[in-house]
Amino acid sequence: MTISPSRHDSLRSADALPSRPWHLLVLSARSEASLEAMTRNLVEHLQRNRDLDIADVAFTLQVGRQLYGYQRIAVCRDLAEAIEALGGDGDARVHTIRNATKQPRIAFVFGGDTLPPRAARELYRTEPVFTREIDLLAEELRSSLGLDLRRLLDLSAGPQEEAGASPRDPGATQAACFASEYALAKVWRAWGVVPSAVMGYGTGEYACACAAGVIGLQVAMALAVMRARVLAGEVEQTAFVKLTKGLQHHPPLLPWVSSVTGAWMPETEAGDPSYWLRQLQWASPVAAGVQTLIADGIEVLLHIAPGEGLPDEASGAGEMAVQCLRLPPGSPARQSDQRWLAETLGHLYAAGVPIDWSAFYFGREPHRTPLPGYAFERRRCWFTAENPAGAEQPGAALHAQTPEGAQDRVPIARHDRRDFHGTHVAPRDEIEKTLVELCQTQLGIDAVGIYDNVMELGADSLFTMQLSRQIEQAFGTTISPHHLFVEPNIASLAGKIRERGGLNARPHHRREAKAADRTVPDRGILGDYDRILTFVEGLSEEQIDQMLRGMTD
């Protein structure tokens, strides 16, 4: 089965933005075995189709697949690098992650007082949202503080000193640090990454307060610059106090952890000049703030700070912390900002954070391209003609068959539903109870709920064929396998059975209906389910997909 191009694909327009230099490839599967098979299939496909555009491949994988519990991400520059990375064993460019499929709560952590040389320069050239925000901030800084932000973020554009600012000017450096963090937060929010809480330390708390809507952008930048100049001994502390007097503030739009106390910020303190004086004088208890976030149920910390990780004292955050941009310890030169941003995006996606891919590709026009589909773990199954005498479960006749075709009948193993996201709702009547039993037997999962998406629980095209045949046997009415692809839950399926009054909407195996007196109308291949199951055994996934699509025509 392949993911086919969209009908709306067309030639790229002449004014589209150029492709990014680094591309995020994502794979997701229900099991480790399927993930390995999907990786092999993709590598083989790329090897056979060397003319593919890596941007199209990345786009198709991102928008054409559902997120399951096993993920693999890789960031590559071109097709050759993708083949090398995914085809290698233990390649450092590839990350395999096991996560639940539920959406985590995320916090933005702004931080730092350092700005590596040419920090975020690459993002300024490649990311439109980042460019827009930096340009707006640059105009504000030039008019209000006489600083040229563009010179600090893109030093190759001209002399290092202009309008009284240089990389050695602490005020200018902190203005650039503030601007980079603020613009990065705007990028993430534009891509659909919305925080449940915010925290900041050092200069980052000014960006944090601004992101929370507590203080205005112009005031936040002025405070960040003045703070740096006070700490450098260039101006007296009284100048900072004077600036904070009469500070206009608003109630926070997001919960905000204070860098002074490590606890939630009271609304009344945000505009108190004494708070910002304490923030200037005291070291930030970063570890306490991180623990406050974790205690509130935050599961992912997105660290928004150019060129540094969370301080050592906050190392307890462990794998929860995801770094936007990174300057490797001891490295004389920065690694690509775009690469780290793409890799961070991949880790957030794998953690279950929703990504707005249409916003991510805004201004660019990648196309869907045919790629190998999901790698199902095939298992041969068979049905007895009728339920065994005395069987209490309608699906008890379904067994796994050994690959050699032996007659050793092994019951399908049951799995706990805790690996799957969603609230369990028990069946409400006999129809739903029967359908739940059928699905649990086929899927090998305990406690399937009536609103669970059976496709997310492991159902596939063969499952829909088998379930359709069992419904025919149990209720005397025919439900198309396609219905499960459109509305893949038991509640909807039970509603269809009630609408059609199948055996007065009561399960056949619970009453003495005369199955031998019922005949299935001759509807060609869809009427003979035994023949379908035999026929399907020899089909490829692509052929099965085409056949199911044809049912709706």
Question: Which pLDDT belongs to residue 400?
Answer: 39
- 337 token code pair: 């900002």
Question: Which pLDDT belongs to residue 546?
Answer: 61
Question: Residues with Cβ < 8 Å from 372, sequence gap 6 or more?
Answer: 1, 2, 38, 41, 42, 44, 45
Q: Write phi, then psi, for 144 (nearest 5 degrees).
A: -95, -35
Among residues 533, 536, 514, 532, which one has the least CA distance to residue 524?
532
Residue extent(s) of CATH 3.40.366.10 domains in the chain: 106-337
Q: Which fold has domain 106-337?
A: Malonyl-Coenzyme A Acyl Carrier Protein; domain 2 (3.40.366)
Question: Which pLDDT belongs to residue 9?
Answer: 39
Give 385's pLDDT tier (boundaries 50, 70, 90).
Answer: very low
Which tens digit of pLDDT belongs to each residue from 398-452?
333 433 433 343 344 445 555 455 567 888 888 889 999 888 888 777 788 888 8
Give 370's pLDDT tier (boundaries 50, 70, 90).
Answer: confident
The CA angle 552-378-31, to the nearest 5 degrees, is 100
The CA angle 144-146-152, to the nearest 5 degrees, is 120
Cα distances from 521 to residues 363, 478, 502, in angstroms, run: 54, 10, 15
Residue extent(s) of CATH 3.30.70.3290 domains in the chain: 2-102+365-372
Q: Does domain 381-550 have CATH number 3.20.20.70?
A: no
Give 161's pLDDT tier (boundaries 50, 70, 90).
Answer: very low
Cα distances from 547 to residues 25, 278, 332, 553, in angstroms, run: 29, 69, 58, 10
Across-strand partners of 98?
70
The kind and range of the H/E element at 301 are strand 300-304
Q: Which fold has domain 2-102+365-372?
A: Alpha-Beta Plaits (3.30.70)
Give the residue with greater pLDDT, 402 vs 229: 229
Residue extent(s) of CATH 1.10.1200.10 domains in the chain: 381-550
Radius of gyration of the chain (CA): 29
**Per-state percent for the chain, helix, strand, coil, to nearest 5:** 45, 10, 45
Neighbours of 206 (CB within 10 A): 28
